[in-house]
Amino acid sequence: MYFGGFWGGIVQPDPRNSNRSLCSNVLIRGNSRGIMHAMSQSPTPSASQNSSNLSFRARFLWMASATVVTIYALILVGGIVRATGSGMGCPDWPKCFDRWVPPTAESQLPDNYQVIYANRGYAETEFNVRKTWTEYLNRLLGVFTGFTILLTLLASIPFRKTDPMVFWLSLSGFILVGVQGWLGSRVVASNLNPGMITVHMLLAQVIVGILIWSLLRATVQPGSNNDLLQLPRWVFPVLVAATLLGLLQLVIGTQVREGVDLIAKQSNNENRHLWIDNLPLAFSVHKWLALPLTLFNGWLIVDLLGRTQNALMRKLVIGLAVVLGATILMGMSMDRLNLPAFAQPLHLWFASLIFGIQWAILLVMYQVRQPSPHDEQAHKNLQPNHAN
């Protein structure tokens, strides 16, 4: 293993062990007749090739990881923008008050700026330095995300020869980040239509899911861990069910968030203690669905920790437990403390992390169950023997 830290556990194998891995895989499948033939047909990579492979994989790992972290930071900042009502802090796009760098005082704007923006369809425009710079920093982070996903795409190009799926996943993520930027402009143009904001947030989940997939595909070795291969078959479909139910809960939560936005606007952000009583039915569904989902995920966490000693899987499962607890804490604070502004973005952020970690756990389990390249090569090399 050459990746340390979080990714230690299931990573690309040392190429020097390729023949040994091949031999053991062939033996397991009962094809001992073709061991020597298969090994003789398996090319041994040179030291320079090994070094090059390690280099481009390490480069991609760091760039993809940085992009995933950046997108999660963007989700958190986006939640803060929404919770603080800063979405229209910049009433135009891509500029902010017709400037690339927004003003720091109302005196820097034209005297009739409110009339100007009212004629553009934003009648309630009022400069607020805190809201303006909150939204502007959100946009800057979005631009930074664009650069990181571009570098991730460039770092994935060498995989076109070894594992094209990594490249195509990175390309898909890059394209969707562009779509996300365009959708952000439509959100501003719609004067923060709640439905558009929800689609904007859900697309962020899709993007981060694609990047996690490319990251794990580039680092997790198929068939590399007997510990995970020996997990009962029912574990994978149960995890799929937990992930889908969690995603459903996230979507219902966005509907609750739309209701909160509407009530906040109607009440001019006052009388917060009355908001919960006026929320739609989605709030009750979201609240009571949380209990069985928590118990379901808690049982899975305990079961997986008892069944596997794999380092990466245990880190993911423990991370899921921590984030699940934090999500519950934020949810309870929102219910008991009348939807405090600080809890709303954190609740959404933790829920997004839950989905990302569940998705990563599924991908790790799926990837290790796939036939390794050595198995496939051995199978091809053994075909003449079977024919005879």
Q: How far apart, in Å, are the Cα atoms of 387 and each of 26, 30, 37, 384?
A: 17, 16, 14, 5
Question: Residue 318 has what pLDDT?
Answer: 96
CB-CB contact of 94 with 138 (8 Å) = no
Three-state DSSP class for residue 125: coil
Q: Which one-letter amino acid corresponds to residue 350?
A: F
pLDDT of 314 above 60: yes
Question: Residue 13 has what pLDDT?
Answer: 42
CB-CB contact of 294 with 270 (8 Å) = no
In this predicted model, what pLDDT tens digit does every residue of 13-58 receive, in sequence order? 434 344 434 333 433 334 434 433 433 444 445 555 555 556 888 8
Q: How far apart, in Å, are the Cα atoms of 166 and each of 58, 66, 134, 319, 386?
A: 14, 16, 35, 25, 33
pLDDT band at 141 (very low <50, low <70, confident <90, very high): very high
Q: CA nearest 65: which of 212, 213, 168, 220?
A: 212
Question: Residue 33 has what pLDDT?
Answer: 43
Sketch out the chain's domains with CATH numbers: 8-13+56-219 (no CATH), 223-374 (1.20.120)
pLDDT of 125 above 50: yes
Q: Which one-letter amino acid corresponds to residue 356?
A: G
pLDDT band at 387 (very low <50, low <70, confident <90, very high): very low
Question: Residue 53 has what pLDDT?
Answer: 59
Question: Residue 224 has what pLDDT?
Answer: 59
Range 336-340 average pLDDT: 86
- Stated pTM of the model: 0.79
Q: How far apart, in Å, are the Cα atoms of 139 and each of 15, 152, 202, 203, 267?
A: 43, 20, 18, 16, 28
Range 82-90 average pLDDT: 84
Question: Residue 19 has what pLDDT?
Answer: 41
Range 127-133 average pLDDT: 92
Length of the chain: 388
Calpha distance 6→29 (Å, rounded)? 32
Question: Residue 50 has what pLDDT?
Answer: 52
Calpha distance 349→245 (Å, rounded)? 17
Question: Residue 9 has what pLDDT?
Answer: 46
DSSP letter at 272 equals G
pLDDT of 319 above 90: yes
Calpha distance 217→243 (Å, rounded)? 19
In this predicted model, what pLDDT tens digit does every residue of 169-208 receive, in sequence order? 999 999 999 999 898 888 877 777 777 888 888 899 999 9
Report the percentage of the chain scoring pLDDT > 70.
80
Question: Residue 36 has what pLDDT?
Answer: 38
Which residues, other chains included, contact 359 with Cβ-Cβ below 8 Å and sequence gap of 6+? Answer: 209, 212, 213, 243
Range 235-247 average pLDDT: 90
